[in-house]
Amino acid sequence: MTYSKVLTAEEAVKQISNGDTVAVGGAGGGLLEPTSFLKALEKRFIDSATPRNLTFIHVTGIGDRKDGGMCHVAHEGLVKRDIGGHWDYLPKMAHLASENKIEAYNLPQGVLSQLFREIASGRPGLITHVGLKTFVDPRVEGGKLNKVTTEDIVEVINIKGEEKLFYPSFPVDIAFLRGTTADEDGNITMEEEAAFLDNLAIAQAVHNSGGKVFVQVKRLAKRETLHPKLVKIPGILVDGIVICPEQKQTIVSTYNPAYAGDVRIPTYNLESIPYNERKIIAMRAALELPDNGIVNLGVGISGSVGLVASEMNLSKEYVFAIEQGIIGGIPAGGIEFGVASNAHAITEAPSQFDFFDGGGLDMTCLGMAEVDIDGNVNVSKLGNRITGCGGFINIAQNAKKLVFCGTFTSGGLEVKISDGKIEIIKEGKFRKFVNKVNQITFSGDYAKETGQRVIFVTERAVFKLGNDGLILEEIAPGIDLHKDILSLMDSKPKVSSNLKEMDSRLFINLIEKEEDNHAKV
């Protein structure tokens, strides 16, 4: 029996015309990635050189940092413009942008997530403070990533004496989304997915733009057999369904029930983080955790703060929240960032960003690739490499307390940690504390205006952001102020008159010490 909404991915992509705008749902690491559509579109273009001059919009970086996800459609001629919230997961598309082969924009993840709701509602666009004084601000770069990108898609406006950014709405012709189960009427559930992301907002925006919504699912169910509370994309919005039984939850996990909330896993057997300079940074950052607070963690060193805090037996209660819509639980790291085991709740991403933008986060720990004397931070453009901001701007601009985590230098840094001290054996090749960051992903000036508390934690020093820029507040035991810190900074910070030594207990491997004591007993 053939159902009217069931079709192949090849049939779906044939409905794309030259010059269309295509929204692709999902997130990095294969989370909700509608892979079958991307592969089918690539094949159609290779076989027929059509469609051409498409505009793609994706809220996050969809891919695997190699050749998956949006890399399937990263072909010159197929793509005219790409508007993405993150670029690090799609290196082939980023290469087209860096070579000026396509028009390319990077806007905050939360802005794009919320903008789909504005498009769906017929409103003129999104008005928000998010992005002010960063590279997204049209007075800085306007989110443009290369020379061939010239059109302004962000405006500065004034409302009751306050500056805001205006991100105009635009029609979207096609949506590629993913769920778990579809019924014969196109109602979509997501019971095996690890997040809901922006699926509903995208489907509504495309439908109300007069476009077509296609959804990849794992299986098909009979009409009127799905529980209405489990339906995340109503069938009234869906034009076509593609059945893909082999789809995986992420590129790593075929199906992890802990990510979907179907089981809860024990936390006592989580693997300990190796004791090194990165762990020292995470431990020092953990000391800043608020009691009974809501905390966001980034990737890398900052992502390990929660686990380290547990090892330190800190007597504090806090709940983690990440931008993909997850509240509570144990956030996954690496390529699966964006999901969590043992989540308390899984919400839709636009609503999560509403909460973040309004100041709901008590604290966040984020990475830092470059920092300048004014407290500006760059994580979005490393040399000529385009990584993008993701949810960084929404989170960093709005959390009540912000702790940046990173080694003092990068590229081959070697240290020795013993007897409660740290010694620099080999300095990293690259300075992180520079005269001027390559791109402003976080604005120190904006933070000063809003009174945000900002701290920078490294393995050898802790800085805070003051009214006049960086202030050195703490120095690690065993570190020479001038040789190991000031001489390696392009611009010199103020040194606090009350300069303290970092807690020496951070430089003692407590787990190894406990193991030694047990062995002696």
Please write down the HEC assignment for all residues of 187-228.
CEECCCCCCCCCHHHHHHHHHHCCCEEEEEECEEECCCCCCH
Between 417 and 384, residue with greater pLDDT: 417
Predicted confidence band at 331 (pLDDT cuts at 50, 70, 90)?
confident
Average pLDDT over residues 493-510: 94
Nearest Cα residue to 87 out of 111, 110, 71 = 71
| pLDDT for res 513 | 57
| pLDDT for res 311 | 87
The model's pTM is 0.95
| 74/213 same-domain check | yes
Strand pairing report for 370-372 and 433-434: parallel
The amino acid present at 250, given as its one-letter code, is T
- How many domains is the chain built from? 2
| pLDDT for res 267 | 72
Per the CB < 8 A criterion, the answer to whether 404 and 310 are in contact is no
User: Starting from the edge strand earliest in sequence, which strands make up the sheet with 219-221, in order?
Assistant: 219-221, 181-183, 188-189, 231-233
Is 438 within the bounds of a domain?
A: yes
| pLDDT cut 90: percent of the chain above it | 90
Nearest Cα residue to 305 out of 437, 438, 401 = 401
Q: What is the largest CA-CA distance in the chain?
A: 79
Average pLDDT over residues 204-223: 98
| 124/68 same-domain check | yes
| pLDDT for res 349 | 98
| pLDDT for res 518 | 43
Degrees to nearest 5, angle at CA 201 with 195 and 203: 100
Predicted confidence band at 334 (pLDDT cuts at 50, 70, 90)?
confident
Q: What is the CATH number of the domain that holds 222?
A: 3.40.1080.10
| pLDDT for res 27 | 97
| pLDDT for res 521 | 42
| Bond prior to 493 in cis (omega within 30° of 0) | no
181 three-state secondary structure? strand
- Rounded CA-CA distance 492/194 in Å is 45
Question: Active-site residue 311, yes or no?
Answer: no
Single out the catalytic residue among 141, 184, 323, 336.
323
| pLDDT for res 519 | 44
The b/e string for 159-185 (b: 16+ C-beta within 10 A; e otherwise) is eeeeebbbbebeebbbbbbbbbbbbbb
| 403/506 same-domain check | yes
Tell the residue number behind the tokens 């409660």, with chain if given. 420
Tell the residue number behind the tokens 């443009």, with chain if given. 144
Per the CB < 8 A criterion, the answer to whether 93 and 386 are in contact is no
Q: In the numeric block, which tokens belong to residue 467? A: 């009214």
- Rounded CA-CA distance 463/455 in Å is 6
Statement: residue 272 has pLDDT above 90: no
Predicted confidence band at 465 (pLDDT cuts at 50, 70, 90)?
very high
- Rounded CA-CA distance 127/164 in Å is 6
**Three-state secondary structure string covering 337-402:** ECEEECCCEECCHHHHHHHHHCCCCCEEEEECCEEECCCCEECCEECCEECCCCCHHHHHHHCCEE
| 282/190 same-domain check | no
Statement: residue 260 has pLDDT above 50: yes
Is 2 within the bounds of a domain?
A: no
| 231/281 same-domain check | no
Average pLDDT over residues 396-409: 98
Is 137 within the bounds of a domain?
A: yes
Average pLDDT over residues 4-14: 96
Average pLDDT over residues 361-365: 98
Statement: residue 451 has pLDDT above 90: yes
pLDDT tens-digit readout, 85-109: 999 999 999 999 999 999 999 999 9
Is 124 within the bounds of a domain?
A: yes
DSSP 122-181: T-SEEEESTTTTSTTSTTTTTTB-STT------EEEEETTEEEEEEE-----EEEEE-SE
Is 307 within the bounds of a domain?
A: yes
Predicted confidence band at 244 (pLDDT cuts at 50, 70, 90)?
very high
pLDDT tens-digit readout, 153-165: 999 999 999 999 9
| 411/335 same-domain check | yes
| pLDDT for res 142 | 98
| pLDDT for res 358 | 98
Of 243, 259, 285, the residue at which a domain comes to its end is 243
Catalogue the long-range contacts made by 461-468 (C-beta closer than 8 Å, 24 or more residues apart).
Answer: 461/408, 461/485, 461/502, 462/284, 462/502, 463/493, 465/375, 466/494, 468/494
Average pLDDT over residues 481-489: 98
User: For the chain, how many helices (H) and strands (E)?
Assistant: 12, 35
Is 258 within the bounds of a domain?
A: no
| pLDDT cut 70: percent of the chain above it | 96
pLDDT tens-digit readout, 413-443: 999 999 899 999 999 999 999 999 999 999 9
| 157/293 same-domain check | no
| 226/320 same-domain check | no
Q: If you count them, how many residues does the chain have?
A: 521
Statement: residue 2 has pLDDT above 70: no
Q: Domain residues for 382? A: 277-510
| pLDDT for res 90 | 98
Tell the residue number behind the tokens 């057997």, with chain if given. 269
Predicted confidence band at 473 (pLDDT cuts at 50, 70, 90)?
very high
Predicted confidence band at 520 (pLDDT cuts at 50, 70, 90)?
very low
| 195/322 same-domain check | no
Predicted confidence band at 512 (pLDDT cuts at 50, 70, 90)?
low
Q: How far is CA 323 from the centre of its chain?
A: 7
| 282/227 same-domain check | no
Least confident of 99-113, 132-146, 209-223, 311-325: 311-325
Average pLDDT, the chain: 95
The C-alpha R_g of the chain, in whole angstroms, comes to: 24
Is 506 within the bounds of a domain?
A: yes
Is 139 within the bounds of a domain?
A: yes
| 234/308 same-domain check | no
| 207/347 same-domain check | no
Tell the residue number behind the tokens 């570190």, with chain if given. 479
CB atoms within 10 A of CB 291: 10
